[in-house]
Amino acid sequence: MRIALLEDDLAQADLVKLWLGGAGHAADAATRSRALRREVARESFDLYVLDWELPDMPGIEVLGWLRRNVPEPVPVLFATAREAEEDIVAALSAGADDYVVKPLRKQELVARVSALARRARAAATTSQRMAAGDIVIDLGRRVVTRGGVPVDLTQKDFDLAVFLFRNLGQLVSRGHILESVWGRTADLNTRTVDTHVSRLRSKLGLTPENGWRLSAIYQHGYRLEPLAGGGSANDGERLRQKA
């Protein structure tokens, strides 16, 4: 998972990054709430880990900001020294998915992160088929059809298509795409992403004349979105899944 960590204690942040990295995750740390907000505007993440007590803005307010400004409900884990029951209730009521009290313990933290990752994957794969417009993705058979005709895709093309359609309408960074499709340790640069996106756009016909816009956002990443009357069956619907 690609994780954003908000923690003003540098030693604690480095330790948590080390733990998460050892478990196969990639973590970016911010020591100030406003720095995290700037990072969220540039990058995309699979999970947020928030401290509560920050010098500039409390973590509970950051949580509210995330829920208002991040299109999809990305999981949020609070990791804080605040242990009062009313604080835990307040965080969970405000939209947090889990809550762990400091001092942090490696195995517990990694287990909680893994549990949130499993929940997120389960929510994304409740169906073996995803459909948007005339494009159908069969997750079990790893086949994509367009207008009922199978499209010849490489393994990475398929993985990229799944990632983009699961994030339909969202801006996803090149770094996030690299880590999710190629793996966090992949020795690749962002030109690899650009090449594969261009090829996928051509193979799937993700162009305005076909009801799609796959845009490159300068210094950020890509956004795939249906145009009016195009890829989505219902106006404003993000993604339709078929059982």
CATH number of the domain to which 26 belongs: 3.40.50.2300
- 24 and 116 in a single domain? The answer is yes
Boundary residue ending a domain (123, 141, 159): 123
For residue 215, give every residue at least 6 positions away whose Cβ sits within 8 Å of its Cβ, in sequence order, or none: 222, 223, 224, 225
- The more confident residue out of 31 and 183 is 31
Could you list the residue range(s) of the whole structural domain that residue 10 is in? 2-123
Tens of pLDDT, residues 192-240: 889 999 999 999 999 999 999 999 988 788 999 998 755 543 333 334 3
Average of per-residue pLDDT across 35-53: 91
Both 92 and 114 in one domain: the answer is yes
44 and 151 in a single domain? The answer is: no
Residues 134 and 117 in one domain: no
Are 165 and 151 part of one and the same domain?
A: yes
Residue carrying the six token digits 């204690």 = 9
**Partners of 101 in the β-ladder:** 80
Residue 173 has phi, psi (to 5 degrees) of -75, 160
CATH number at residue 183: 1.10.10.10
H helices within the chain, ranges in order?
10-22, 33-42, 59-69, 85-93, 106-124, 155-166, 174-177, 190-204
Q: In terms of domains, do 56 and 13 share one?
A: yes
Final residue before a domain boundary, out of 123, 153, 186: 123
141 and 226 fall within a common domain = yes
Same domain, 229 and 163: yes
Average pLDDT over residues 2-6: 94
Answer yes or no: do 109 and 177 share one domain: no
Which H helix or E strand runs over 23?
A: none
Strands 221-226 and 143-146: unpaired
- Which tens digits make up the pLDDT trace of 102-150? 999 999 999 999 999 888 766 655 557 888 888 999 988 889 999 999 9
pLDDT score recorded for residue 83: 94
pLDDT value for 201: 94
Q: Say yes or no: 88 and 112 in one domain.
A: yes
Tally the domains of the chain.
Answer: 2
Same domain, residue pair 73 and 100: yes
Same domain, 102 and 192: no
How far, in Å, CA of 87 to CA of 92, rounded?
A: 9
Six token digits for residue 23:
């478990």
The residue among 123, 140, 156 that closes a domain is 123
